[in-house]
Amino acid sequence: MNSASFRPDSDERAELAWLSPTPVERDLPSDRHRLLKEFVMSEIQQDPQPAKRARLRLLRPAFLAPVATAAATLAVALPALLGGGTPAYAVSKNPNGTINIEIREFKDPKKLQADLHDLGVNVIVDYLPPGKRCQGPRSTDLAPREQYRRSLLQFVENDRSSTGFSTRLDPSVIRTGQTAFIEYAKLEPNSVVDAAFNGWIASGPVAPCKLISGKPWPGGYPTR
Amino acid sequence: MSMRARVRAGDADVFGELFDEHARSIYNLAFRLTGNWSVADDVVSLTFLEAWRLRDRVDIDGGSLRPWLLGIATNVARNTRRATRRHEAALARLPPAEAVPDFADEVVDSIDDGEQVVAVREALTALRQPELEVLALCVWSGLPYAEAARALGVPVGTVRSRLSRARKKLNKLVTDSRRRPPEKSREPQADRRQVEGDRENAVRSVQERTR
């Protein structure tokens, strides 16, 4: 080992800094910063192309996931007892225009969807059984996440008497001509939580949910 | 939940925060590694797509995620082609950046810009890629050696030896040019350092074995 290797870090760093002065920093142009950020956010929120996913599965299981996630996603513990003679879901409109949706049983999503349509909300509702997800991407024309972030669909703390899974939908973030699509997932029994949801807004057509195997949104979701 | 936990959990919002906080560092690091602002623009997006892909490798414990992101950016810049291939479909959806001049035709409109171009160009031509990477991370981006080592996935001793080689090469460059420093301001210090450094080195070896 030569003497150079024994230099304390700070001295070597100082000398290198002298030998190669730190270049002046340049900012990303602000519109480019915004555009790149939107691009990255939209990419990580979307499902990969199915063909690509199949191919990548062989290479790297972790890549299965670049997807839908978190912003409007939440997961909660569902009481073990679901339903029990009550309707599969309940919908109620709040004074501020938001709509509470309580899922008690994972059945009749299209009936729920029709009820929401009757309330004037252009939304597509799907339920995902454990171990299933919708094949994606369901839309190639997603609205920027900034438009709705956490506000499209939020988890609502259940009151003690409730047996269901309560969420609140804010239709005001859906603009004219846009379609929201929301997915409620019943998770596998060994999951840390029992159910989860996710929601998006598309400015173009939304493909019907074709169920395939997989975690609902492999990107995960924040837990409480 | 900590930022690291949120990254691991795949919370997309946290990636937005990371983008706002670190895109600039990544952009500049990428320019220093490639000498091309357009490539640097690509490296920014690719770094975050890669970070998303690799999010479950983040340790729950630790400080800022900047070293992690800079490490990913370094890997992306080193092999832009591979990263581009991996995210080809996504990149096809990204509007191209407006052309930004790079070295070949950079319009130098201030002394600072001029120095920047010269510093980066000299380092790019004089150093091998691994040496350039540690120079950019440790000296220009200011990462502590240990964090640069973690970011690059190499032992800290490797970072030191690469920096040492970088220093020698840059020194030679300076020796050959007008910027040579006074010789006596460096030599006596080098002797003193050897004693201090010896002890430090012994400690370091033990640490490395137990890693």
pLDDT band at A4 (very low <50, low <70, confident <90, very high): very low
Distance from first CA to last CA of chain A, Å, rounded? 53
What pLDDT digit, counting tens, does each position of A175-198 carry? Answer: 999 999 998 888 776 655 577 788
Q: Spell out which residues of chain A touch residue B140, defining contact as CB-CB under 8 Å.
A: 20, 22-23
What pLDDT shows up at residue B20? 95
Residues 6+ positions from B58 with CB-CB distance below 8 Å: B4, B7, B8, B65, B68
Note whether B24 contacts A35, CB cutoff 8 Å: no
Identify the residue with better confidence: B202 or A150. A150
If contacts are CB pairs under 8 Å, which of residues 4-63 in chain A contact chain B?
4-9, 11-13, 15-28, 32-33, 35-37, 39-41, 43-45, 48-49, 52, 62-63
Residue B73 has pLDDT above 90, yes or no: yes
pLDDT band at B186 (very low <50, low <70, confident <90, very high): very low
What pLDDT shows up at residue B99? 53
Do the Cβ atoms of B80 and B46 come closer than 8 Å?
A: yes
Residues A67-82: what's their mean pLDDT?
37
Kindly report which listed range (A65-69, A130-134, A202-206, B120-124) carries the lowest average pLDDT score.
A65-69
Q: Spell out which residues of chain A touch residue B163, defining contact as CB-CB under 8 Å.
A: 12-13, 16
Residues A116-122: what's their mean pLDDT?
92
Q: Between the CA of residue B75 and those of A6, B4, B47, B83, B93, what are the distances in Å?
A: 28, 21, 9, 9, 23
pLDDT band at B76 (very low <50, low <70, confident <90, very high): very high
Domain spans of chain B, in order of start: 3-180
Q: Between the CA of residue B81 and those of A71, B42, B78, B86, B108, what are the distances in Å?
A: 31, 11, 9, 9, 29
How distant is the Cα of A7 from the closest Cα of chain B, in angstroms? 6
Please tell me the distance from the alpha carbon of residue B70 to that of residue B151, in angstroms, as a whole number.
Answer: 7
Sort strands A179-186 and A165-169 into parallel, antiparallel or unpaired. Answer: unpaired
Residue A150 has pLDDT above 80, yes or no: no
Please tell me the distance from the alpha carbon of residue B194 to that of residue B199, in angstroms, as a whole number.
Answer: 9
Please tell me the distance from the alpha carbon of residue A109 to that of residue B117, in angstroms, as a whole number.
Answer: 60
How many angstroms from the chain centroid is the CA of residue B123? 13
Residues B65-79: what's their mean pLDDT?
93
Amino acid at B126: A
DSSP secondary structure letter of residue A4: G
HSE-up of residue B187 (Cα within 13 Å, Cβ side): 3
Residues B37-54: what's their mean pLDDT?
90
Any B CB within 8 A of A95 CB:
no
DSSP secondary structure letter of residue A209: P
Sort strands A123-128 and A132-134 into parallel, antiparallel or unpaired. Answer: unpaired
Note whether A44 contacts B186, CB cutoff 8 Å: no
Distance from first CA to last CA of chain B, Å, rounded? 28
How distant is the Cα of A83 from the closest Cα of chain B, in angstroms? 30
pLDDT band at A216 (very low <50, low <70, confident <90, very high): confident
Residues A38-51: what's their mean pLDDT?
66
How distant is the Cα of A110 from the closest Cα of chain B, in angstroms? 28
**Taking Cα atoms as reference points, which of B50, B53, B57 lies closest to residue B83?**
B50
Q: Between the CA of residue B189 and those of B92, B166, B184, what are the distances in Å?
A: 54, 19, 9
Mutation to test the B interface, candidates A1, A2, A6, most B Cβ within 10 Å: A6
Kindly report which listed range (A28-32, B8-12, B81-85, B118-122) carries the lowest average pLDDT score.
B118-122
What pLDDT shows up at residue B19? 96
What pLDDT shows up at residue A48? 45
Mutation to test the A interface, candidates B8, B11, B88, B199, most A Cβ within 10 Å: B11
What pLDDT shows up at residue A190? 61
Candidates B28, B48, B123; nearest CB to A20: B123
Domain spans of chain A, in order of start: 68-213
Residue A61 has pLDDT above 70, yes or no: no
Residues B176-180: what's their mean pLDDT?
53
Note whether B24 contacts A65, CB cutoff 8 Å: no
Kindly report which listed range (A65-79, A88-102, B12-26, B117-131) carries the lowest average pLDDT score.
A65-79
pLDDT band at A51 (very low <50, low <70, confident <90, very high): very low
What pLDDT shows up at residue B192? 32
What pLDDT shows up at residue A112? 93
Q: Spell out which residues of chain B touch residue A10, defining contact as CB-CB under 8 Å.
A: none
